[in-house]
Amino acid sequence: MKPTQYSFKKVFGIKTTQGELFEDVAKPLVEDIIHCKNGLLFTYGVTGSGKTHTMTGSPGQGGLLPRSLDMIFNSIGPYQAKRYVFKPDDKNGMEVQNQVDALLDRQKRDSQTTVPKTPTTRRIDPEFADMISPEEACKADGVDEDSSYIGCFAVPPQSKILREDQNHNMYVAGCTEVEVKSTEEAFEVFWRGQKKRRIANTQLNRESSRSHSVFIIKLAQAPLDADGDNVLQDKNQVNVSQLCLVDLAGSERTSRTRAEGSRLREAGNINQSLMTLRTCIEVLRENQMCGTNKMVPYRDSKVTHLFKNYFDGEGKVRMVVCVNPKADDYEETLLVMRFAEMTQEVEVARPVDRPICGFAAGRRQRNQAFKEELTRRLEERGGPLDGESPTVLNQLLQSFPPLPPCEISGPNDDVTLPRLIEALEKRHKIRQMMIEEYNKTANMLKSVLQEQDSNLLSKENFIQEQRGKLGEKDKMLQNQKNEIDRLEKKSKMLEYKIDILQKTTNIYEEDKRSLQHELESREQRLQREMSEKRRMEARMQGIVTDSKLKWEKECERRVNAKQLEMQNKLWVKDEKLKQLKAIVTEGKTENRQPQRPSREKDKVPAKRSASPSPVPTGPPVRPLHRRSHSAGGERWVDHKPNTNVDLDTVLQPNLPNAIKVNAPSEKALSKCDKYVLTHQEVASDGEIQTKLIKGEVFKTRGGGQAVQFTDIETLKQENPVAASRKRRSSETGPDGEPKEGDWTDVETRCSVAVEMRAGSNLGPGYQHHGYPKRRKP
C-alpha cells in the first residue's frame, strides 16, 4: 500500500493516560461551561477503535465524561444553590423560584424518597467506583463567587422530537432534566441511562457500538441579589450553558456489520447520519474557503439538526478520532482520517459574552464578613449561660445586677424600698451606658461601612475605567483577530489555488512527457521505417540488377541456341542436298552418319537425363564446413521445437552465447536482442530441409517483448553423386560421337556444396542444388 500522511492538531499515542487526554481535550470545554459557554465533544472512529473507553473509561481509569463531571462539581461545590431554587421551564430554559416554593418542593421530595440526604453515605455502583482518584481531582479557576449554580442531567424520552427555543437553539422535546448536587449523583444518573441503553439495545437485538450515545450536561447560573443572600428573582439573568458529550456509532460499511432485516435498515440509517455529518462539514468548509453561501443540510439527520447551533458558532466543537491499526479496518480508517483532517479547516464564529447583571462584585464575601463580625462582637460581651444558647437577650440579662428581695416586712420597713430603688437606678445607669455604647458602636460601624462604601465606589470607578480600557483593547484585539482571520482565509484560498495550479501543472507535465515519449517512439519508428525502406530499395535494386543480368544471359543463351539450331537445320539441309546430289549424280552410295561441327560454339547441349547417375565406387567428397550467417557477437534466443529431427550432417548452425529454449518466453527474450527459429520440412525430392528464421527482438510500449522477422536461411542435404547437369566431353561412344547424358566439363566432376543468392544462375542449361542464401521476408 502507498503510505498516506495526515496532519492533526495533536496525536496521542498508545501510552497516553486518560488524565493527559482530559487535560488537552475536555478540560478547556469544562472551563467554558463554567464561564457560560457551550461545548461539544464527540468521539469518531470505526467499531472497536476505543471510542466508548475514551468517553467513559473504566474503574481506576476514568474517561472524559467522569472527569468532566468531577471537575464541574469540584468547582461549583461551595456556590451551589439549594435544591429546587432553579426549575426547568420545559422549553430548554430555567426559572428561579422563591424560597417558599423551593422549600415546599424539597419537603415533597424528602417525603417521597427514602434515599439518605448525605451523598457521602450513598452507595455507588461498583462499576463506577474509584473512577477518579483524589490526586487527579481538579477544579476550574475564576469561578464567579457572586452567582449560584445548579447542575442537571438531561434524560431524553423514547420519542426524540426536536424543538427550537426562543434563542433558536435546538433541544429534545419532553426531555427530563434531573438536578444533581454532587459527582456521585451525576454518576448514578449517568449509569442508569447506560443501563437503559443496554436494555434497549438488547430488546432491539442491536449492538451498542452501532448506536449514537448523547450525554447533555446543563449548568444554570444566576447572580445573587444586592445583599448577597438569595438568588436574584429575574429569569432574564439566568444563564444556561451546555456541555454535550457524544459517542458516535462505528463508522464502517453496512456489509461488514452482517446485519439483516430491521438491524440492516437501522445500520443504514446510522451510516446515513454519519454521511450527513460529513456533508455538513464539507459544505461549511467550502463556504468558508470559497466564499460561497450554500445551504448546510442540517435537517437531513437528527444528530446534525440537534447540534447545528454549535456548528454555527454557539460554542466550541472538538472531535477525538480513535484509530485501530487492525488490517481489516484499513479502508474505513483511511476515510475516518481523511474526514477528521478536513474538519480542522472549518472555523466557526465565537459568540460575545453576555453580561449577567450590574451589581458590584464581592457581594457574597461582604455578607459573609458582616455576619462573622457581628457574631464576634456579640461573643465579646459574654458567653452563653450553662445549658442556654448564646442569644442577645441572655447576654443583656446577664449584664444587669440582680434585684434584691421585694417583700416589705411592715410599715416601718425602710430598707427594702431603698434597696430596690438603688438597684433600679443601677439598672437604669447600666441601660444608659449600654445605649450609649450601642450608639457609639453603631456610629463606628456606620463610619466603617461608609468608608468601605467610599473605597468600594472608588474601586468600582477604577474598575469601570479599566473595563473601558479593556473594552477598547478587546475591540482592537477583535479587529486584529478579524484581520488575521481574513488574511488566514485569504492565505488558505491562495494555498488552495496554488494546489489546484500545481495539480494542473503536474497534469500538463505528465501529458507533455507522454506526448514527448510518443513523439520519440514515432521518430524511432519512422527512422526504422526509413532504414527499412532504404534497405528494401537496395535489395530491390540488387534484385532488379540480378534479374536484368539473368535475363540478359538468358536472352543471349536463347539467341545462341536459336542460332545453333538454325545452323544445325541448315547443315542438315545441306547434307540432304549433298546426298540427293550424290544420288542423282553418282547413283546409290552407302549412307553415312553426318558429322557435326567440332567447334565449341557449334556443340548442341544434350538433354538432361531424368534418371540419376550411377553412384561412383570411390569415396564421397566431404562437404566444406559452412558457417551460419546467424553467428555474431549478439545474444541469441535459439528456439528449437521438440519435434525437430537430429541430422548427422557436418553443417550445423553455430550460435555462440545463445539461450536454447523449446518454446519462446518473455524472460528469455528480455535478455537477448536476436531470435532464430529452427524449422524442418520435407522438400520436393524427399530430403529434409532446415530453415533458420531469424528476427530482431525489441521492447513494446506496454513493457513486453516482440520479434520482427528479418531473414531466412535454408539448409538442405542432398546426394553428392546425384544426376549430372552437363555432359562429359572426354568420353565418346563407339562411333566416336559423344554419349548422351555425359558431363561436358571437368569442373563439375567434383561434388562441392554451392552457396549463392536465390534467383542467380550458373549459365544456360545449368541446374544446381546449392543452398539459397538468406531471403528477406
pLDDT level of residue 631 (50, 70, 90 thresholds): very low
602 against 337, higher pLDDT: 337
List of residues 6+ apart from 671 with CB closer than 8 A: 635, 659
Q: How sure is the predictor about 649, in pLDDT bands with cuts at 50, 70 and 90?
A: confident
How far the first Cα of the chain sits from its last, in Å, is: 48
Of these ranges, 398-412, 542-556, 701-715, the one predicted with the greatest mean pLDDT is 542-556
| Residue 743 phi, psi dihedral angles, 5° rounding | -75, 150
Enter the pTM of the model.
Answer: 0.49
What is d(CA 717, CA 770) in angstroms, rounded to the nearest whole number? Answer: 10
Q: What is the mean pLDDT of the segment spanning 36-51?
A: 89
Beta strand 636-639 pairing with 658-661: parallel
Residue 45 annotated as binding site: yes
Bigger pLDDT: 588 vs 572: 572
Give residue 118's pLDDT: 44
How would residue 558 be classed by pLDDT, with cut points 50, 70 and 90? very high
| Residue 707 grid coordinates | 520479434
* 504 annotated ligand binder: no
Instruction: Give the whole-angstrom CA distance, residue 55 versus residue 664.
Output: 65
Distances (CA, A) of 748 to 79, 553, 622: 133, 20, 15
| Between 162 and 382, residue with greater pLDDT | 162
pLDDT score recorded for residue 274: 85
> Is residue 585 annotated as involved in ligand binding?
no
Report whether 643 belongs to an annotated binding site. Answer: no
Q: Once rounded to an integer, what is the mean pLDDT over residues 604-623?
A: 40
Average pLDDT over residues 726-749: 43
What's the Rg (C-alpha) of the chain? Answer: 60
Q: What percent of the chain has pLDDT over 90?
A: 12
User: If you average pLDDT over residues 28-56, what whole number do you get?
Assistant: 90
The owner of cell 561434388 is 751
The verdict on whether residue 62 carries a ligand-binding annotation is no
Residue 132 has pLDDT above 80, yes or no: no
- Greater confidence (141 vs 747) lies with 141
49 has binding-site annotation: yes
**Is 113 flagged in the annotation as binding?**
no
Residue 4, marked binder: no
